[in-house]
Amino acid sequence: MADKIKITIIGGGVGGYPAAIKAARMGADVTLIEQNFLGGTCLNWGCIPTKSLLHAGEVVQTMKESKTFGISCKGYSVDFKAVVKRKDTVVKQLRQGVEGLLKAKKIRVVQGTAEFVDASTVQIKDTGEKIKSDKILITSGSRPGTLKFKGSDGSDVLNSDQVLALKVLPKSVVIIGGGVIGVEFAQIFHRLGAKVTILELLETLVPGTDKEIAQSLEQSMVAEGIEVITGAGVKEIIQKKGTNKVLYTAADQEKSVSGEKVILSVGRKPDISSLKVDNVGLVHENGAIVVNDRMETNVPGIYAAGDVIGGIMLAHVATMEGECAVSNALGKESIISYKAIPSCIYTDPEVASVGLTEEEAKENYDIEVGRFPFYACGKALVINRTHGMIKIITEKEFDEVIGVHIIGPRATDLIAEAVLGMTMEMTVEELAHAVHPHPTLSESMMESALSLYGGAIHMP
């Protein structure tokens, strides 16, 4: 660019900092404003710290199962402070990595809270500094959702951010909400030694997930020792010394369960609370900024991306949207396609999906469903992770794959093949004929496709 376009990005999370790097590579003069830590929710209070804790639980589970592999592993203990310290170390290292990347691209990073003055100017509330630019991208992210009922504001009632600040492992935990965040926390605390109960309002865990897969995950968690209560509407939390009694209704009966801590795991909400968006007339609905498929708001020159626009609140989606916004802001047209967006749950077994669920597909297509269980996969047997399956959904007219759902070992890695294939409008025949290495978990993807095209090799 002959004359550098000035762009200000509000929010240094996974929507903002990759967009800043892309903008710098495209030749823009970039200012990135972050009120807390670079990396945002994902790096500091979400994706990374929770996966660190989940892996600690996986290590515990491996030790419990060590005799299966002919190895005796007795006398282990969980040092929760050390587990937390490692989590914090990983987060700090990655945060410093982000800082280094931004510095290398000569991106100015401003620590503080941004608020709009006009359509081309933001002010740093903390210092009064005004920053004027040609384009502005809002990637201010989200905050934990809340529920309002008697006792929900108690000192032992924690949201998903507050949970990650715990330094002492609670003896028992009640988790209100059995979505993605809830089931991951449930397995973290259960495997590290706490008694865990999940209360979910709907009839299955992880609502929105393919029902067959969700039911399989619930069966696995219950078999592991996690208490799962679905159809449970929470009414009140009564705090007493050292415990919290959670009153709920299930099957038309009043019941209760107690825990040392209660976790409110009820999703996240877009966060525009400090931006003063009404100063520039930005349109927003239910707290989310409204954009088109180029990430443009109703105000020329102002864009928004990531959790702050609602929609699919996933880290990789925020990154994609932020980069799309920057491309358009700097004159290179880009449009978002949400056709093949993967969704992942990092429990053990893992869950991953892309495309339509079986329930959704039946509404619009004549479909076929293929399945291949991991108990028939040699590599899964080798690593003693045989619970689950790969499920493929196709529409009959063109045999195009329109949904892939996995529950089982390394599902979150395996789903990438399905994402690539669906992006390229893959047919089930093409997937079935693609040569997969042996012995690997990925063979199960091929076998699932073969179950729809000629028959799986390792199924009767």
Question: Do 47 and 60 reside in the same domain of the chain?
Answer: yes
Instruction: Report pLDDT for 225.
Output: 97
Phi, psi of 131 (to 5 degrees): -120, 120
Secondary structure E strands in 51-134: 108-111, 114-118, 121-124, 130-132
The answer as to whether 361 is a domain residue is yes
pTM of the model: 0.94
Instruction: Report pLDDT for 74.
Output: 82
The answer to whether the CB of 345 falls within 8 A of the CB of 183 is: yes
Structural domain span for residue 421: 343-450
Instruction: Report pLDDT for 82.
Output: 97
Question: Do 103 and 224 reside in the same domain of the chain?
Answer: no
Write down the mean pLDDT value for the chain: 96
Q: Which stretches of 255-388 are DSSP H helices?
A: 315-329, 358-364, 378-382
Instruction: Report pLDDT for 73.
Output: 87
Residues in the chain predicted with pLDDT less than 70, given as ranges, are 1-2
391: its two tokens: 């499920």
The answer as to whether 338 is a domain residue is no
Query: For the CA atoms of the chain, what is the radius of gyration?
Result: 24
The answer to whether the CB of 43 falls within 8 A of the CB of 344 is: no
Number of domains in the chain: 3
The answer as to whether 150 is a domain residue is no
Strand 172-176 to 195-200 pairing: parallel
Question: Do 229 and 293 reside in the same domain of the chain?
Answer: no
Q: Which of 372, 345, 368, 347 is nearest to 358 (CA)?
A: 368
CATH number, residue 308: 3.50.50.60
Question: Do 77 and 128 reside in the same domain of the chain?
Answer: yes
The answer to whether the CB of 116 falls within 8 A of the CB of 277 is: yes
Instruction: Report pLDDT for 442.
Output: 98
Instruction: Report pLDDT for 1.
Output: 47
Question: Do 166 and 195 reside in the same domain of the chain?
Answer: yes
E strand or H helix at 376: none
The answer as to whether 300 is a domain residue is yes
Question: Do 374 and 399 reside in the same domain of the chain?
Answer: yes
pLDDT in tens, 280-314: 999 999 999 999 999 999 999 999 999 999 999 99
Instruction: Report pLDDT for 420.
Output: 97
Question: Do 90 and 177 reside in the same domain of the chain?
Answer: no
Question: Do 38 and 161 reside in the same domain of the chain?
Answer: no
The answer as to whether 184 is a domain residue is yes
Question: Do 295 and 256 reside in the same domain of the chain?
Answer: no
Question: Do 133 and 279 reside in the same domain of the chain?
Answer: yes
Instruction: Report pLDDT for 75.
Output: 84
Q: Which one of 55, 405, 433, 438 is the catalytic residue?
A: 438
pLDDT in tens, 81-122: 999 999 999 999 999 999 999 999 999 999 999 999 999 999
438 as an active site residue: the answer is: yes
Distance CA 321, CA 313 (A): 11
Instruction: Report pLDDT for 459.
Output: 86
The answer to whether the CB of 304 falls within 8 A of the CB of 291 is: yes
Question: Do 22 and 96 reside in the same domain of the chain?
Answer: yes
